[in-house]
Amino acid sequence: MRGPHNIWRLIRTGATLERTGAMGVVLDAFDAPRPLRIAARVMGWPFKWLGYEGDPTMPPATRALSALGPAYIKFGQVLSTRPDLVGDDLALQLRVLQDKLPPFPVAEAKAMVEQELGQPADTIYDSFSDPVAAASIAQVHKATLAETGEVVAVKVLRPGIERAFRKDIDAFWLAATLIEWISPGFRRLRPMDVIAHFEGVVMGELDLRLEAAAASEYAANTKDDAGFTLPAVKWDYSARRVMTLGWAEGVPMGDNAAIDAAGHDRVEMSERVLQLFLNHALRDGFFHADMHQGNLKVGANGDIIALDFGIMGHIDEYTRRVYAEILFGFIRRDYKRVAEVHFEAGYVPADRDVDEFARALRAVGEPIFGMDATRISMGRLLSYLFEVTERFGMETRTELILLQRTMVVVEGVARSLNPRMNIWNVAKPVVEDYIKKSIGPRAVLSDLNKTAMVLARFGPRLPRLVEAALVRQAQEPPPADRSVWLGRLVCAGCGLGVGAVLVLGLQLLL
């Protein structure tokens, strides 16, 4: 489907960018080379009259994407998490993109429920409200389960949304292909990879079973977190295009007056929301990557309630340890150690100078520590850090960019509750606790135990593995230096022999 028939959609896109004044903004943000600028103008300017006008009160980029429809809105939201690609200014502008669209009729939502769950909606639910929220991909209804009488939230995909998204994504693929063809130098921003990332995010959101699975995993990870709750997934009433969750009653996190009226401590809540996020990122490696005020409520008991699990972040255990050591080094202002961690992790090429890198990191950290406590931002620190590491040859790591973007959002939520919050004081105990558990002696023993368990599974096969390794070494053509060949043979035998002894000992102990 990524053929010439998508050219019309691209022409309409270029015309809308021209008509709304967004074309120059976008080209400047990407630092587009001259050939690409010429091609974009040729595709947009003559057809400017065909472009959508959009809302003149919006900034140019958000105005254009909002006018072009759901897929473009979602694309802008995904790009807002990648300031490394679009620059800080445009990323900030794209973060305010709202995907609120007119709701579709209740009758269509009920028809979708019947199609997906195999029963009429009026049989499954005693009540089924008008939409309480409508976004680009789905809308939400408040309902009551007929079987139990429980109040639930029913999320239903927009009819035809999958086909509409696929058509636009095909056009995005064509655009990325043309960009790389017209301007090979633009490949440094990896446009094909950007579209692949976007397609993965959107296809995940278009299958509500995956969102339900994310909500379920998130709930399992956080079940013991005091003051934090999630609506339960109702698996019997969920499918590909319909998801049912428990109804979350509470006041919006952004409504300070309502929070105060309910008697909640906003200072404590500001600290809790930041520490919860850090725990989820460091302890679990699985965090809510869209944790803005619209996706948070405050329950009557003061619990923070998270909603909407379409965009979640993942960080592997090794990266979490590296990230924690970097944060901890900055908290202690030990810039040499922060530099060493980058080199040990392979983030910065080994041929660079570690002392010079440490001095560059000091230039990042000291101005921030010199600020008043209420102005210190961990998100800003990470942003500056990525700028410095890029200069020293570090490749972009998408998961850390997403983490940095989410940290900025969570800090904003926390500071809206308590403007005088000291980010470092709040973060320090969480990071220190993670360091103790994941990098100290306890972590070494835990890692050895995991390694032993893996080796134990190979115990019965070790004699054959040793024999096969020795045979392979013996059959290889010996190098010119015979002592090297003999050394390899001895090392292979000794290494596997030690492994066999280790596994045997562990099996006896266990």
Torsion from C-alpha of 106, 109, 111, 117, nearest 10 degrees = -140
Angle at 202 (CA atoms; ends 201, 203), nearest 5 degrees: 95
From 290, 316, 334, 433, active-site residue: 290
* Residues 6+ away with beta carbon under 8 Å from 304: 227, 228, 229, 253, 269, 272, 273, 276, 296, 297, 298
Phi, psi (deg, nearest 5) at residue 262: -80, -5
DSSP category for residue 233: B
Strands 296-298 and 228-229: unpaired
As a whole number of angstroms, the distance between CA 67 and CA 32 comes to 23
Residue matched to tokens 């400017």: 48
Chain position carrying tokens 């409520």: 297
Phi, psi of 255 (to 5 degrees): -100, 85
Beta bridge partners of 251: 298
Nearest to 134, CA basis, from 105, 107, 162: 105
* Residue 221 near residue 227, CB atoms below 8 Å: no
What is the C-alpha to C-alpha distance for residues 118 and 107, in angstroms, rounded to an integer? 16
Give the DSSP per-residue string, 244-298.
Answer: EEE----EETT-HHHHHHTT--HHHHHHHHHHHHHHIIIIISEEES--SGGGEEE
110, two tokens: 């009920």
Helix (H, G, I), strand (E, B) or coil at 158: coil
- Tell me 51's DSSP state: S
The side-by-side arrangement of strands in the sheet containing 296-298 is 228-229, 304-306, 296-298, 251-252
Q: Tell me the three-class secondary structure of 287-303, residue by residue.
A: EECCCCHHHEEECCCCC
Active site residue 303: no
For the annotated catalytic residues, the residue numbers are 290
